Amino acid sequence: MQVGKGGNIGLSVRDKGVLLIDSQFNQLTDKILSAINTRITDKPVKFVINTHWHQDHTGGNENLVNNGATVIAHENVRERLSTEQFVDFLNKTFEASPLNALPTINYNDSITFYFNDDKIDVYHIPNTHTDGDSIIYFSKRNVIHTGDLYVNGRYPFIDRSSGSSIDGLIIGIEKIISIIDDETKIISGHGLLSNLDELQDYLIMLKDIKQQVLTMVNNCTTLDEIIKSDITAKYDNLHSDSLLIQNFF
């Protein structure tokens, strides 16, 4: 696991080369490769799996492809990277990515492949953080990378402009929990290495806040009243939103 200014990077490293999960920002590629080569291995990066389209997870794609890597992602990631995207929450437009930054191996529901003596299962979890999110499970080593479906220590960013929803996010977290066990190491999209207990607490938080909002909506509470009700108060000591703007994009 590599931590930097963008999303957490997962690494699989053995004699056959390096597989990266996510590539952070384009200006960080040299630092990422230097850290790998000086601390871990001199083997080349052969594959990159993108967990979703956001640039703090895909910005280094082009640089890595130009160095010989192949990028893998859900088909919606390629679609969004190849076209201009507007994120309404940020009121920001993102230009289409260069051709070499686009994933060249795409899948629909799931894909399994074998690399570095491990079975790697990649699942599309629709309408969670975006409409193209993937989780990546290393069966032999019992490690899962969740992308931004799960952001440890912070509230989620539900990017509705990219097809996400609170219901989809809850289903996605439940899917992860159905795959892992007490020994699984969880690499979240941002934040510290995590585990099943912390992920279960995260799910409880999501369901509780959703239910509180639904109850207020059913009681004809206005949006301003819901915002002022401070319904997240009991979780604020465990989760923050400080990362949202400064590091996601």
Q: Is the pLDDT of residue 245 over 60?
A: no
Distance CA 193, CA 173 (A): 16
Main-chain dihedrals φ then ψ at residue 70, nearest 5 degrees: -110, 135
- Which domains are delineated in the chain? 10-248 (3.60.15.10)
**What integer pLDDT is reported at residue 241 of this predicted model?**
67
Average pLDDT, the chain: 93
Residue environment code for 180-212, b if the CB has 16+ CB neighbours within 10 A, otherwise e: beeebbbbbbbbeebebebbeebbebbeebeee
Residues with Cβ within 8 Å of residue 13, at least 6 apart in sequence: 19, 36, 40, 41, 43, 116
Query: Is the pTM value of this prediction over 0.85?
Result: yes
**What integer pLDDT is reported at residue 230 of this predicted model?**
87
Main-chain dihedrals φ then ψ at residue 167, nearest 5 degrees: -65, -45
DSSP 192: S
**What integer pLDDT is reported at residue 83 of this predicted model?**
97
**62, two tokens:** 């082009």
**109, two tokens:** 């529901």
**3-state SS, one letter per residue, for 7-68:** CCEEEEEECCEEEEECCCCHHHHHHHHHHHHHHCCCCCEEEEECCCCCHHHHCCHHHHHHCC
Q: Hey, CA dihedral for 187, 193, 11, 98, is it positive or negative?
A: positive
Contact in structure between 143 and 180 (CB atoms under 8 Å): no
**What integer pLDDT is reported at residue 246 of this predicted model?**
47
DSSP β-bridge partners for residue 73? 106
Q: Is the pLDDT of residue 247 over 90?
A: no
The residue type of 52 is: H
Tell me: the pLDDT tens digits for 111-159?
Answer: 999 999 999 999 999 999 999 999 999 999 999 999 999 999 999 999 9
**What integer pLDDT is reported at residue 15 of this predicted model?**
84
Query: Stretch 27-44: mean pLDDT, rounded?
Result: 93
Tell me: the pLDDT tens digits for 160-181?
Answer: 999 999 999 999 999 999 999 9
Query: Stretch 25-39: mean pLDDT, rounded?
Result: 94
Query: Stretch 90-107: mean pLDDT, rounded?
Result: 95
Q: Is the pLDDT of residue 243 over 70?
A: no
Tell me: the pLDDT tens digits for 177-223?
Answer: 999 999 999 999 999 999 999 999 999 999 999 999 999 999 999 99
